[in-house]
Amino acid sequence: MKNVKRIVLYAVIAIVVIGGIVVVKNKFFSGGKNVPTTAVAVSKTSVEAKTAKLIEKKSGDTYKATLEAYQQGIVSGKVSAKVVSVVVENGQYVNLGDTLVALDDQDIRNNIKTAQAQLQTYQNQLNSSQVAMEKLKINLDDAKRNYDRQKVLFDKKAISQTDFEAAEKTFNTAQADYNSGNASIQTAQSNIGAQNVTISNYQDNLDNTIIKAPISGVISDKAVNIGQMASQGTALAKVNDISSVYATIQVPQEKISGIKIGQAATVTVDGVDKKYDGVIQNMDLSADTSSRVFNCKVKIDNGDKSLLPGIFGKVQLTSEQNTEIITIPINALVGSEGNYSVFINDNGKAKKQKITIGETDENNVEIVSGVKDGDIVICSNTGSLQDGNEIEVTSKQDGGSEDTASK
């Protein structure tokens, strides 16, 4: 029994000693101050935030758009021949009149030589006919003078009718020969004229074996290679004038009355962090019979040729009225399409707030509902936050300026 009491005594002494050591240690690390033994450290999540602000925005509807070249030229041949040279590729810029394709011209050159030889034959025939005409003219003049003399004598009964008729026959024969010679000259001249037309056509064909750019622009849809037969009228490539481009939109019939030629628009292009100014240049007179939409084209200056046909974008038509909207960084969103939320700094705690969004761009999203002017929206570490978590704001953007704050 004494041994048990002794053991209990030793145990009490050990507890007192250990307790004393703990108290001394706590005082040492706390600088001699009393430290509550019941305090529990709370973990805070460091976040960046931005104060939501109302900004003015031009009101107007937004439409999906496809970019098109301002104008397009079709590269095609006017003669059928084998391709012997191609000097362009897709994406290459060409100027009006630049040589793009060359066709085999040997057959045409042979035709020109043959036609020129025939022309010389007709020219020789004309020369011979003209020389013969000079003799026929002399004969006709002589026969005419003799006929006139014989007629005077015949009227005076000085010669017989037989002699007069002989003179008349000679005159008529000379006249017929002259008319025939004149016809020969006209035929030769007609043949020469026709042959000149034939040679001119051949020359045009020869010129058309060099296919040139119909306009200045960028080559696309190239469909020609050396050695193939290029048929007359077949499209070999396209040249796209992209000094300006069209953003083509489709406006439903219930909104077309609010669209006007010359109306201003702002165009954004997928993948390009830039806005382009444009105006509505033309619009369809009638709606598509199946979709009941009107195609409208917004013209955009593209002097730097950075915009290319076929890419997608958005067109916001500018209205004379302004609206106020709230935008926040797009990386503040959590959730998925149709079920978005954000975290708001609620006195040092993350408050999850369901929102409705509007238009978006590369960096920002428009808030339709759920966030009000002045709310501090958390923009980082949102994937690890839970509603009610303690937070520490390490960086806050307010009205476009950055400053550091702590809570």
Q: Which residue ranges in the chain fall short of pLDDT 50? A: 1-9, 11-13, 15-39, 399-407
Q: Which residues contact 141 (CB under 8 A, 6 or more apart)?
A: none
Q: What is the pLDDT of residue 37?
A: 45
Positive or negative: CA dihedral 162, 167, 172, 174: positive
- Say yes or no: 316 and 329 in one domain: no
Q: With DSSP H G I counted as helix, E B as strand and the rest as coil, what are the percentages for the chain, rounded to 5?
A: 30, 35, 30
CATH number at 350 reads: 2.40.420.20
- Say yes or no: 316 and 336 in one domain: no
Q: Which residues contact 150 (CB under 8 A, 6 or more apart)?
A: 159, 163, 164, 167, 168
- Say yes or no: 316 and 219 in one domain: yes
Boundary-marking domain end, from 289, 304, 320: 320
- Say yes or no: 17 and 35 in one domain: yes
The amino acid present at 270, given as its one-letter code, is D
Instruction: Quote the distance between the C-alpha of residue 19 and its chain's center.
Output: 83
Boundary-marking domain end, from 207, 225, 250: 207
Helix H or strand E segment including 296: strand 293-301
Q: What is the pLDDT of residue 43?
A: 81
Q: What is the pLDDT of residue 270?
A: 81
Question: What confidence tens digit (pLDDT) does each residue in 243-288 have?
Answer: 999 999 999 988 888 888 999 999 998 878 888 999 999 999 888 8
The answer to whether 220 and 238 are in contact (CB under 8 A) is: yes
- Say yes or no: 299 and 277 in one domain: yes
- Say yes or no: 36 and 116 in one domain: no
- If one counts the domains in the chain, the total is 4
The answer to whether 173 and 47 are in contact (CB under 8 A) is: no
CA dist 40 → 21, 23, 35 (Å):
22, 18, 12
- Say yes or no: 165 and 305 in one domain: no
CATH number at 120 reads: 1.10.287.620
- Say yes or no: 149 and 234 in one domain: no
Query: Which single residue is written with the structure tokens 């439409």?
Result: 63
∠ CA 193-197-198, nearest 5°, is 115
- Say yes or no: 265 and 188 in one domain: no
- Say yes or no: 305 and 375 in one domain: no
Full domain range(s) for residue 375 = 47-55+324-403
Helical axes 106-155 vs 161-207, angle rounded to 10°? 160
- Say yes or no: 175 and 242 in one domain: no
Helix (H, G, I), strand (E, B) or coil at 189: helix
- Say yes or no: 337 and 377 in one domain: yes
Boundary-marking domain end, from 191, 207, 223: 207
CATH number at 283 reads: 2.40.30.170
